[in-house]
């Protein structure tokens, strides 16, 4: 079993409770404003988690499919969907590397560092083929991924947090081009390991799968990518 099969559960939700719907709504607004979509398009939220971005897209009128490996997070996404009437969203538990027949999309998003979960480059790169295979000819792909500079610059080696009455110790380290986080709740320990890719490496991977980069931003305010930046937000298309 890989680390990501274990970690994205109720404890993940507790630790990342501050990753809010408001934040997601702002990010989705940036994406939709920038792309100039018509609000009738089909959107695929690849690794949607609890569907915070999917719901924001659906609330803006898009028809959204959210897929995620975690049954716990998909259950939460479906529960949240019930709070909204008349929007077009559905959520499936699925491995993005082995998707069922879901058709093709005008926009595919992969947000909040849901990429780079394997130590193996080829396996990580496979995601771009999945994207290519599910984009309409005029479709676009938006990837929100970490910036290695920022990760290295801000790495907090150890942090002790109080999460819903429990003491949680988070340790971080750099190991073989990965940022590794160990999250210790009382009696249960999780790992998170994300491979650090520079902009050029991501661009090369995208190119190999026929994806053309149209823009790279540093943040959701629309500031351009920079070498000593915070994040890497890529927008690409097939032509």
Ligand X SMILES: C[S@@+](CC[C@H](N)C(=O)[O-])C[C@H]1O[C@@H](n2cnc3c(N)ncnc32)[C@H](O)[C@@H]1O
Contacts with ligand X by CB under 6 A lie at 4, 8, 19, 47-49, 52-53, 67-70, 73, 95-97, 111-114, 117
**How many angstroms separate the most distant Cα atoms in the chain?**
51
Residue 12's nearest CA partner among 22, 21, 4 is: 4
73 vs 236, beta carbon nearer ligand X: 73
> In the complex, which residue's CB is closest to ligand X?
49
26 vs 138, beta carbon nearer ligand X: 26
Residues 6+ apart with CB under 8 A from 188: 11
CB of 54 to ligand X, least distance (A): 9
140 vs 193, beta carbon nearer ligand X: 193
CA 182 to mean position of chain CA atoms: 20
Strands (E), 33-134: 42-46, 63-68, 88-93, 105-110
95 vs 239, beta carbon nearer ligand X: 95
- Residue 102's Cβ-count burial label (10 Å; 0-12, 13-18, 19+) is middle
Is residue 154 within 8 A of residue 238, CB to CB? The reply is: no
Could you please report the per-residue DSSP string of 134-192?
A: TEEEEEEEEEEEE-HHHHHHH--SEEEEEETTEEEEEEEEEETTEEEEEEEETTEEEEE
CB of 19 to ligand X, least distance (A): 6
CB of 44 to ligand X, least distance (A): 11
146 vs 206, beta carbon nearer ligand X: 146
CB of 239 to ligand X, least distance (A): 27
Is residue 97 within 8 A of residue 118, CB to CB? The reply is: no
44 vs 135, beta carbon nearer ligand X: 44
Is residue 53 within 8 A of residue 22, CB to CB? The reply is: no
CB of 63 to ligand X, least distance (A): 18
CB of 47 to ligand X, least distance (A): 3
């Amino acid at each position: 079993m890989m680390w990501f099969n274990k970690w994205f559960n109720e404890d993940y939700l507790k630790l990342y409770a501050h990753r809010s719907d408001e934040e997601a709504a702002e990010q989705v607004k940036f994406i939709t404003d920038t792309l100039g979509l018509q609000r009738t398009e089909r959107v695929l939220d690849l690794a949607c988690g609890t569907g915070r971005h999917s719901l924001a897209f659906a609330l803006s009128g898009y028809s959204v499919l959210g897929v995620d490996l975690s049954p716990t997070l998909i259950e939460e996404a479906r529960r949240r969907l019930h709070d909204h009437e008349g929007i077009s969203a559905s959520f499936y538990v699925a491995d993005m590397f082995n998707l069922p027949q879901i058709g093709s999309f005008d926009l595919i998003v992969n947000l909040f560092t849901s990429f780079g979960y394997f130590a193996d480059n080829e396996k990580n790169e496979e995601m771009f083929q999945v994207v290519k295979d599910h984009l309409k000819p005029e479709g676009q792909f938006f990837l929100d991924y970490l910036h290695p500079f920022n990760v290295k610059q801000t790495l907090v080696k150890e942090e002790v947090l109080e999460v819903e009455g429990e003491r949680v110790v988070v340790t971080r380290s750099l190991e073989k081009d990965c940022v590794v986080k160990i999250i210790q709740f009382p009696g249960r320990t999780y790992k998170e390991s994300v491979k650090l890719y520079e902009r050029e490496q991501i661009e090369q991977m995208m190119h190999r799968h026929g994806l053309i980069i149209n823009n790279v931003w540093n943040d959701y305010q629309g500031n351009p990518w920079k070498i000593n930046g915070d994040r890497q937000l890529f927008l690409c298309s097939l032509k």
